[in-house]
Amino acid sequence: EVQLLESGGGLVQPGGSLRLSCAVSGFTFSSYAMNWVRQAPGKGLEWVSDISGSGGSTYYADSVKGRFTISRDNSKNTLYLQMNSLRAEDTALYYCAKVRSILERLSGVFDIWGQGTMVTVSS
Amino acid sequence: QSALTQPASVSGSPGQSITISCTGTSSDVGGYNYVSWYQQHPGKAPKLLIYDVINRPSGVSNRFSGSKSGNTASLTISGLQAEDEADYYCNSYTSNSTPVFGGGTKLTVL
């Protein structure tokens, strides 16, 4: 069974840091690009970041560029999101999501989603 | 990249058909056939309904269909059922080489 399991969320003060993890099982992790998508409380979905299957190529939304870093460890089947200089507007449920096709990276087509991990930035 | 424009809410009665629009620009919806749609029930993760404008993943009901004309994509749900009540989001690839979501539409089944 394909499964994505996020962890690492919590309460952090403005300016602080947090690292999210997404443990993957059920498919060949290294073959697929992976993404982070977030959803602020009561709000819509916002794409955050993408990383290629090898980890050699990354993309970020302008809202997080320079503050967040996406990475992956294919030997551990795990995706990460290092979040620095956190702001109140980063408060959201963070989902990891698998790209549906090897050929459709950055197309916004995500066929498998985790259940999300909540990040709250507040003093 | 600005979010794609969706109506905040739509409604319909059981058995009816409804359409949700998703309006962008020639730099996203109008420029590429990479429009996808997601359904999200309260407290749940989004579920892929439509990809590449018109394609349904295996297991998704054929009551859901997608289309596109110019800079506007549409999701049509036919034979509306109570379980279809949810939030719906469109997504498109953009000229920035990144995807962008729509603001979301709340579907109410009357």
Question: In this predicted model, what pLDDT tens digit does every residue of B32-86 receive, in sequence order?
Answer: 999 999 999 999 999 999 999 999 999 999 999 999 999 999 999 999 999 999 9
DSSP state of B15: T
pLDDT value at B1 more than 80: no
Higher-confidence position of A104 and B37: B37
**Closest chain A C-alpha to B55 CA, distance in angstroms:** 11
CB contact under 8 A, B100 and A113: no
CB contact under 8 A, B38 and A46: no
Pick from A37, A111, A114: which is nearest to B48 by CB? Answer: A111
Residue A98: in which H helix or E strand, if any? strand A92-99
Q: What is the pLDDT of residue A110?
A: 96
Per-residue burial over A48-83, b if 16 or more Cβ lie within 10 Å, else e, is: bbbbbbebeeebbbeebeeebbbebeeeebbbbbeb
Q: Does B39 touch chain A (CB under 8 A)?
A: no
Question: In this predicted model, what pLDDT tens digit does every residue of A66-84 receive, in sequence order?
Answer: 999 999 999 999 999 999 9
Pick from B34, B38, B40: which is nearest to A107 by CB? Answer: B34
Q: Which two tokens stand for residue A26?
A: 């059920």
Question: In this predicted model, what pLDDT tens digit does every residue of A19-33 receive, in sequence order?
Answer: 999 999 999 999 999
Higher-confidence position of A103 and A36: A36
* 22-41 of A, contacting B, C-beta below 8 A: 37
Percentage of chain A exceeding pLDDT 90 = 94
Q: How far apart are the first and last CA of chain B?
A: 35
Q: Does A115 touch chain B (CB under 8 A)?
A: yes
pLDDT value at A103 more than 90: no
**Closest chain A C-alpha to B51 CA, distance in angstroms:** 6
Contacts of A75 (CB under 8 A, 6+ apart): none
Cα dihedral B40/A90/A60/A46 (nearest 10): 20
- List the beta bridge partners of residue A81: A20, A70
Q: What is the pLDDT of residue A116?
A: 98
CB contact under 8 A, B89 and A45: yes
Integer-rounded Cα Rg, in Å, for chain B is 13
Q: Which residues of A touch B45 (CB under 8 A)?
A: 95, 113-116
